Amino acid sequence: MTPTKLITVAVLCTLLLPGCRKSATTGGSSNVIRVGYIGLTCEAPIFSAVEKGFFKEEGLEVEMVKCEWANYKDVLALGGFDITHHLVMYFLKPIEQGLDVKFTAGIHKGCLRVQASTKGNIHSVQDLRGKRIGVPGMGTPPFIFANRVLGANGIDASKDVTWRVFPAGELGLALDKGEVDAVADSEPIGSLLLADGKVRNVADQAADMPYKDEYCCAVIVNGKYLAANPKGAAAATRALLKGAKWVEANPAAAARLSVEKKYLASNPELNTVAISHLRYVPSVSGADAAVKSAAAEMKIAGMLGPTTDVPDLARRAFAHLDGVSDAWLDTLEVEKVAGGQVAPDQDIRLFAELILSDTEESCCKARIPVVANQ
């Protein structure tokens, strides 16, 4: 089975995700924290924090609430769950419009890419002017990232490029057919298109300045819950940051845990490929800076209101919590489990190619997880 076909299976799995529902009931105790999730590769810190007991270490019991993309932001804002971690860029516009949620710390970097067909002559962002860019949806994180990249390079995303929307699993096919010249996507799709030889990177959030040091995903808390229970919000944030550190130390183990505990449908090897492109180095100051930089570039790209005060928006969007600091993170140590790592000299693209070149029968049994909003 080709990477494109496997990607399509992944997207179908995402589209079939059920609505928000609780996976456990704990009786409404004041120490219960409701954690939202969708079932994505990059949510590994959530799953690890639950399974490794990090919430319990913070005196909390977890009630997991599984959601779908369509109503994720609204369910958080309306109190359907209390906390999660998610893409900074995905929430900034809603916060600008009054959504009552707060970022509290950064979880990881590196979700998003803009990639051009290897059959074409696009080698830089400037080469995208006048071209057709495929995206998995207008307003999705890949679309927002592409807009930021274009705007930062003096390209008017509303006039100087043509946007074409395709299901995420069909972006590679759109390139093959010549229907687009480039695509904006997220992990693991970006790595798999590279492994398939379809694309070259034009902008990589994990590798290119100024994005490589920017946190794409951060802990985000319901505003009313935070106001009523700041200690609980801080404790839950610490649990998720412990989870992020554990994933960074044990990416292969985290990939296995996510699949074996049935938080997502995948195969551990493929999930490891996806996780290994991301950097789970949690930070409070890094998330604060990411909110500011993302908001500034989104305004330049016309994705925030022309009169929006970016520093004010950043202040409204971020909450500093007692006991949640970079100094605390510097002292935080997590275990390193045997066999939980990816070899430092492992070529992840080659790893993906080897996995995907397995027999048709074994590949058909694997389903690829989706990391970010497709």
CB count in 10 Å sphere of residue 327: 7
Four-residue CA torsion sign, 261, 263, 265, 269 = negative
Cα–Cα separations (whole angstroms), residue 309 to 20, 94, 117, 234, 362: 34, 15, 38, 28, 53
Distance CA 339, CA 267 (A): 17
pTM assigned to the model: 0.79
Distance CA 54, CA 40 (A): 20
Distance CA 316, CA 102 (A): 8
With 0-12 / 13-18 / 19 or more C-beta atoms within 10 angstroms meaning exposed / middle / buried, residue 228 is: exposed
Four-residue CA torsion sign, 265, 268, 273, 277 = positive
Distance CA 48, CA 246 (A): 7
Query: Helices 88-96 and 310-317 meet at what angle, rounded to 10?
Result: 110
Which 3 state secondary structure label does DSSP give 42? helix
Give the per-residue pLDDT at 66: 92
Q: What domains sit in the chain, N to C, each tagged with a CATH number?
A: 3-108+216-331 (3.40.190.10), 112-212 (3.40.190.10)
Q: Are 260 and 348 in contact (CB under 8 A)?
A: no
Helices vs strands, H then E, count in the chain: 17, 11
Q: Are 128 and 202 in contact (CB under 8 A)?
A: yes
DSSP character at residue 179: S
**Residues linked to residue 199 through DSSP beta bridges, in sequence order:** 117
CA 304-308-311 angle, to 5 degrees, is: 110
Write out the chain's pLDDT in tens, 374 residues.
444 444 433 333 333 334 566 654 333 457 999 999 988 888 999 999 999 999 999 999 999 999 876 778 889 989 999 999 998 988 999 999 999 999 999 999 888 899 999 999 999 999 999 999 999 888 888 898 999 899 989 999 999 999 999 987 789 999 999 999 999 987 767 777 887 789 999 999 888 888 888 898 999 999 999 999 999 999 999 999 999 999 999 999 999 999 999 998 777 887 787 788 788 999 999 999 999 999 998 898 888 999 999 999 999 999 999 999 999 999 999 999 998 998 766 655 555 555 555 433 333 333 333 444 44
Cα–Cα separations (whole angstroms), residue 200 to 124, 152, 170, 252, 357: 10, 20, 17, 26, 20
Distance CA 194, CA 117 (A): 10
Give the per-residue pLDDT at 275: 84
Radius of gyration of the chain (CA): 20
CB count in 10 Å sphere of residue 55: 25
Cβ partners under 8 Å of residue 262, min gap 6: none
CB count in 10 Å sphere of residue 328: 12
Report the relative pairing of strands 101-108 and 217-222 from DSSP bridges. Answer: antiparallel
**Phi-psi domain of 229 (left: phi exceeds 0; alpha: psi -120 through 50; beta: other):** beta
Q: Are 137 and 325 in contact (CB under 8 A)?
A: no
